[in-house]
Each structure stands twice: as structure tokens, then as C-alpha cells.
Chains A and B, each alone.
Chain A
């Protein structure tokens, strides 16, 4: 299980934005989806997922709506806002740049 401190600073926001960009989801489903698509590598502790969601909502990057869940319960569904889409684009570009640079360094041939 990957703790938030193991994630590179700021990547939790990026992951959440990306997941809800695909389709509106509730907190529980976001966690499940993240685990699924990352092949069980990435799993956010529930302890940090909800504070992160509330922060993103407060920043205006995601918006929340109460809807019926698959099991017929009321749940809070998050979806990406227009602002969030811009933010996601920027963060994703950042991430690509950073990870490419790190890969580059890690793959250096030892003399």
C-alpha cells in the first residue's frame, strides 16, 4: 500500500483529477478505480483521500453532486470542472516532464 508520503508531492491531486476526468465518481469508487487502473500499485489511504477531495473542491477544480450510487445509496459524486481540466492539463504536463527527467537520470549507464 502506498502512503501519500510515498507519492511524489502533489501527485495525489493529479491522480484524483485524472480519475474523475474519466467519469464522475464517489470517494470510494475513486479509490477502487485508482487501484484497478494502476494494477494495485497505487492505493491512496482513505485517511488522505477525503481531505484531498475537499481541498480540490474548495479550489474549484472538482465539483460535487449527490446522486444515487450503483447500490441505490446516496453518495457524493465528484466531477471535473472547466478550471480543473486546465489544472489537470498543466499538472499532467509537469508530471511528464518530471518523470521523464527522473527516468533519464535513473537510466544513466554507470561508467
Chain B
């Protein structure tokens, strides 16, 4: 079937569709002609008029059936049935509007849920975080068993515990910690993360201007912040002189030392407006404890059974006789990024 073939047949199909009345009329006339010829023949054979007519109709297999078959042969039956089905469907809607609305509502809800879940799936699974080597990242969390109950519970980690973990786990090239929170900045509610000074260097976060947070900020206890690109636009109106400005985080004065590149949003799904130095962590709500999560990256492949993943054993603390820092998940089936770690 070359293009020449289509050149010839497409107009015929279109004619069958758009000039249906004429095509139908011609079909009528064609079959009528045949019928009359047949009747004449039958009469010539000596049949009565009625008999001749009946016999001719039978031979044609019924006029209407024959027409139907011819239409089928023209390959436009689908259009007919489509129109008929549509009409039938609309009539059904009119007769039972409640049912129709329920069906439409159900479909709309289903599609909506599907679209929403895909959006979430897409942002979490299909699009990895825009940080350097996202698949080598691994989230850790503290798990503690209380004195009276055996089953361990998720527990936040204090800064000394984090530092111990970082010191005593040589398997990881780098460990950073963070504490998320929401607090007013310059009078507007902002999504903030207090992060350890190695956050930007570890994740390869590029600066659009200024400098990232540094380890020296942790040491000096300085109150400094890096604005996200979006926050730079909305809080500072894309002011090129933003670096060096001070703003209020709650009661505290904070100096903006840098603006992150537009592509950088950190290793989490939620939007972050400002990253602030550790000294400002207490400003992020009532929790005095350090972040519940510890992110860890390792340059060399790590064997899942490595003892380094076992966390920091037995850290006595208050009501919790034991605190383990283990990969995020239930301690009985810990998962680590895309790694599944057998216990």
C-alpha cells in the first residue's frame, strides 16, 4: 500500500463519511436496480409478480441486511456505531443524572489521585535530588529503647551524639546533620534548615553569589544564612547586593553570606528557603535536641554487613538506656537510600 494507493482511497473514505446521505442513496439505487432486474428475470421464468419479488428479495439476503453489509465493507461502520453509542450514552446521562455525576466524579477522583501520586512518585523516585552523587547518600536516624518497653522508637540525636557518630564511623567519607524547622524571617514564615558546616561542600551545592556555610561557622558559633535562589528572589527582590545584609530570624540577627544556585534544593523533597548555621538551630522551634536525621555519604562502596552501619552502640541518655544510630527505617529492616541492609 504505497502513498499512491492512499491518494486514491482516502478521498473515497472521506466521501463515505461526509457525504453519507448521497452514498446511501446511491447504494439504494444500485440494489434497487438489481432487485428489479431479478424480478424481471423471475417473471420471465413464469412466476407471479408477488412471488418474483419475494424470491428476488430472498436472493439478495434482504435489502436492509445487504445495505448494512455494504456499509461494513466500506469500513465506516465504526463511525455509525460511535455516533449511536454517543447518542445512547448521552440519553442515559439525561435519564439518570445522579448516576452520571457519580460516574464522572469517580473517574475524576481516580484520575486526580493517580496524577497526584505520580507527581509524588516522580519527584521522589524518578528525579533524584539535585546534589552531587545523590545515590551515595544515606539517611541515618536514632533509635532508642526506653527502660520499660522493649520496642525501639525513633529518637532525635543530640549534637554530641552526632559528633561521636561522625568520629567513630570511618566507613563514610562525610557526615552532615540538619534540623528542619519553620520560623519567621523578616516577618514572613520561611522553611529553614539548620545544617552542619560541611553541608554545602559535601552535597556539592553551587553558590550563585557569596559563600556557602563553612565548618568555621560551626566553630565560631556565627549566626549566618544562605538563601535559596527562590528565596533570594522573593525576600530580596533579586537584589545583587544581598550578600552581607542582615535579617531577623525570630529575635536574632542573621547575616546572609550567600545565595545558592537555582538548581540546588538539597536532598529533600520539601522546599527550603534558608540554610542557617548550627548556632541558630535553637531558633527553629522548641526542640533543643539536634536533628533527628543524619545524612551520610561514602565514596567507596560499603558492604552492607559492615559494622560501621551498626551505629554508635550504647549511648546512655536519660530515659533511654540505649541509643543506636542506624540507617533510616525500622531497626529490624533498615533501608539505606536504594541499599537494603540486612541486619
Please, which residues of chain B bring their CB within 8 A of the CB of A57?
A: 12
Contact of B26 among A48, A69, A73, A76 (CB under 8 A): A76
CB-based contact B9/A28 at 8 Å: no
Size bin of chain B's contact surface: 20 to 34
Shortest CB–CB separation between residue A79 and chain B, in angstroms? 14
- A89→B60 CA distance, assembly (Å): 30
Size bin of chain A's contact surface: 20 to 34
Tell me the nearest residue of chain A to B13, going by C-beta.
Answer: A58
For chain A, residues 12 to 63, give those with C-beta under 8 angstroms from any C-beta of chain B. 26-28, 45-48, 50-52, 54-55, 57-60
Asked if B103 is at the interface of the complex by the 8 Å CB criterion, the answer is no
CB-based contact B5/A50 at 8 Å: no
Shortest CB–CB separation between residue A2 and chain B, in angstroms? 14
**Number of A-B pairs whose CB atoms are under 8 Å?**
71
CB-based contact B59/A45 at 8 Å: yes
- A76→B72 CA distance, assembly (Å): 19
Contact of B29 among A50, A51, A55, A74 (CB under 8 A): A74
CB-based contact B73/A45 at 8 Å: no
A-contact 0/1 string along B25-53, CB 8 Å cutoff: 01101110110111000000000000000
CB-based contact A47/B9 at 8 Å: no
Q: Given the known inter-chain contacts A59-B9, A60-B5, A76-B26, please indicate yes or no for A46 contacting B75, CB distance below 8 A.
A: no
CB-based contact B61/A46 at 8 Å: yes
CB-based contact B72/A51 at 8 Å: yes
Most chain B CB atoms below 10 A, which of A50, A57, A74, A81: A50
- A27→B38 CA distance, assembly (Å): 11
Shortest CB–CB separation between residue B78 and chain A, in angstroms? 14
Asked if A75 is at the interface of the complex by the 8 Å CB criterion, the answer is yes
Asked if B74 is at the interface of the complex by the 8 Å CB criterion, the answer is yes
A-contact 0/1 string along B213-224, CB 8 Å cutoff: 000000000000
A-contact 0/1 string along B247-282, CB 8 Å cutoff: 000000000000000000000000000000000000
Shortest CB–CB separation between residue A90 and chain B, in angstroms? 13
Tell me the nearest residue of chain A to B59, going by C-beta.
Answer: A46
CB-based contact B70/A28 at 8 Å: no
Asked if A100 is at the interface of the complex by the 8 Å CB criterion, the answer is no
Contact of B30 among A48, A76, A83 (CB under 8 A): A76
Shortest CB–CB separation between residue A61 and chain B, in angstroms? 10
Asked if B16 is at the interface of the complex by the 8 Å CB criterion, the answer is yes
Q: Given the known inter-chain contacts A46-B59, A47-B61, A58-B13, please indicate yes or no for A27 contacting B66, CB distance below 8 A.
A: no
- A50→B32 CA distance, assembly (Å): 12
CB-based contact B12/A26 at 8 Å: no
CB-based contact B59/A60 at 8 Å: no
Tell me the nearest residue of chain A to B67, going by C-beta.
Answer: A50
For chain A, residues 73 to 97, give those with C-beta under 8 angstroms from any C-beta of chain B. 73-76, 81, 83
9 further contact pairs, Cβ within 8 A, besides A28-B37, A51-B72? A27-B33, A47-B69, A50-B69, A50-B70, A54-B27, A55-B74, A58-B9, A58-B73, A60-B9
6 pairs from A and B in contact (CB 8 Å cutoff): A46-B34, A50-B30, A51-B73, A75-B33, A76-B33, A81-B8
